[in-house]
A = this chain, B = another copy of it.
Amino acid sequence: MGGDQGHEVVLNGIARVLKKREDVFFIVHGPAKTLEKLIRRKKRLSEFVEVRDADDVVTMDAKPSMVMRNGKGTSMWSAIDSVREKEASVVVSCGNTGALMALSMLRLRKLPGVNRPAIACLWPSRNEGGFNVMLDVGADIRADETDLIQFAKMGASYARNGLGIASPRIGLLNVGTEDHKGRPELKTAHDLFPAVAETSQFDYVGFVEGGDLPSDKVDVIVTDGFTGNVALKTAEGTAGLIREFLSQAFKATPLSRIAAFLAITSLRRLGKRIDPRRVNGGVFLGLNGTVVKSHGSADATGVAAALKLAIRLTESGFNERLAARVASGLEPGHYADQPEAINEQMQ
């Protein structure tokens, strides 16, 4: 169904991916008649795209608990089920994040050993590869010390398979780097981390602060979903404000307008580096199947970025490796929740 922008943006994103690859196939879920009409209009799309009819829509403001009860006829449910039935390797959606997580937990179930799934995002950074990983950016609003340690394991797995970093450096987000700072669960996790890092083959670099999110001292930043979500949206908002100020600065005088023209290539490169569309794609970690959440407001470039990320993760066998990694640290009492429990969690 697409996000705020509707079906067409999704099909345009697919078309962009197909320009470079011919070994990827798509199943699109939504109203068959409308979709088929749009697909016929686009060259080559019909060859690589199959339509699955689903008339209902999960709206952007739908409550996750309602969608779990009544969402069976929606395109979102249908898309997730295509991964559940192993027809598809990965699902990509621009829809309602809370509903997507709730339905993914309900239909795909959590990996054995995972208490809370998390959403991981890529963060522009000073590291060689250009990105850090941060999680959780909004799957849940809480995380205790056990969750934070699982986030670290899952984030390390993502950094290994998604970014190709053999031994990722993990930092725990806090309000200061001193040992005595922060909430109780952070201090407990901080004490437990060195031992976990050794068995899970990552480096624990200790507490990091908000200013370290784009740092080259760390590859993966672990935090609860409330803090992570605020940090992510704050960074996007700050980048947006600066982009606005920058464009105003270049329109301020005739001289600065000439300057903007001369610097256009360099400014475009800058634009790409800080363009949130290019880092589009939150990955749901901790489920039996990979789910990639694209921004609701994503345009074709954004959708294509999310699709490419989904393809990269699938090709690396990411989810199987993640499952093995988490299972190796399986602790008693941490099994997949029943729908009732999920339901309560997603309110």
Chain A residues near B (Cβ < 8 Å): 61, 63, 98, 124-126, 138, 141-142, 173, 175-176, 178, 180, 182-183, 209-215, 223, 225-227, 229-242, 244-246, 248-250, 252-253, 255-256, 258-263, 265-267, 269-270, 273-274, 347
Contact = CB atoms under 8 A, between A and B. Distances in A.
Nearest to A234: B210
B226 A182 contact: yes
Given A175-B230, A230-B209, A233-B211, A252 B266 contact: yes
By secondary structure, the A interface counts as helix
Contact of A175 (B229, B259, B270): B229
Contacts of A259: 258-263, 266
Contacts of A258: 259, 262
Contacts of A261: 259
Contacts of A266: 249-250, 252-253, 255-256, 259
Contacts of A124: 241
Given A256-B265, A258-B262, A242 B241 contact: no
A173 to B, nearest CB: 6
Contacts of A63: 180
B225 A210 contact: no
B126 A241 contact: yes
A227 B259 CA distance: 39
Nearest to A274: B242
A167 B141 CA distance: 32
A142 B235 CA distance: 22
Nearest to A270: B249
Contacts of A209: 230, 233
B249 A255 contact: no
